Amino acid sequence: MNRITEPDETELAFSRLFPKIVLASRSENRRKLMECGGSTVYQLPMETKEERKGKTAEETVLNIARAKMEAYLTSDKKIPTLPALTADTLVLFSGSLIGKAGTEKEAKERIKSFSGKKQSVITASLLYLPDDGISEIVDTADVWFKKLSDEEIDAYIATGDWIEAAGSYRLQRNGWSIVERIDGDWTTVVGLPMKKIIENMNGKKHLNHICY
C-alpha cells in the first residue's frame, strides 16, 4: 500500500469535534493520530491490568478499554470538563488474539507468519463526554500482508517498529511498506477508530459546545 499522507480528512474532522481531549493511555500512536489533525491532547496514562477476558474477541478488547476508562474516571487526574478516550487494540490471526511482542525474535516470527495472509485488527474505544456519559465503540479492519522475503522481514524488524506495537508493526512509520491493502478504516489499525467515533457523535450534546 502507499504511504499514509497525514493529516487526512478523518483526522481533521476528529480535531474539529475534539479541539481538546484527554487520552487515558500511554499510546504514542493514538496521541500522534489525534495531534496530527490539530487536537490538543492531554495524555494521562492509567495503570491497569490488561486481562484478556471475554467470550468473543470484540468483548475481550472492549473489557480492556473499559478497565482503562474506569481507572481514569476514578482517578484524581480526571479533568471533568473535557472529553476523554481510552482504547485497546488486538490482532485476530488464525483464531488467536495477538498483542505486543516481547522480543525481537517473537516480532520477527509474527511478521513471518503474517506474510501473504490476512489478519483482523480489532480496536475498542470508550468515549467519555461530560454531558453525555460514556459510549462504547468497537471496529474491525482487515489487513492483508504482502508476500515477504526473509530479507524484507529482517529489514522491517531492524526499523524497531515492532516495539510496543500490537501485531508488531506500525502503519504510520514503515508498516505501510509490508502491507498490501486494508479493508476498513486505517485509523482502527493504528489504534483509534476515528470514523466510528465521529459517527457516534451525531446528535450528542457535545456538538453544541465543541470549543472548550
Type of residue at 54: G
Report the alpha-carbon distance of residue 25 to residue 17 in Å, rounded: 20
Q: What is the pTM (predicted TM-score) of this model?
A: 0.90
Is 150 in the active site?
Answer: no
What topology is assigned to 9-206 in CATH? Maf protein (3.90.950)
Which segments of the chain have a pLDDT < 70? 50, 203, 205-212
Q: What is the pLDDT of residues 62-104, one digit of tens each?
A: 999 999 999 999 999 999 999 999 999 999 999 999 989 999 9
Residue 62 has what pLDDT? 96
Report the chain's terminal Cα–Cα distance, integer Å. 38
Residue 206 has what pLDDT? 63
Please state whether the peptide bond connecting residue 7 to the residue before it is cis, i.e. omega within 30 degrees of 0.
yes
Report the alpha-carbon distance of residue 43 to residue 40 in Å, rounded: 10
Residue 127 has what pLDDT? 98
Contact by Cβ (8 Å): 29, 190: yes
Q: Which of 88, 139, 161, 185 is catalytic?
A: 88
Report the alpha-carbon distance of residue 156 to residue 129 in Å, rounded: 39
Provide the residue ranges of all domains of the chain, joining segments of one domain with +.
Answer: 9-206
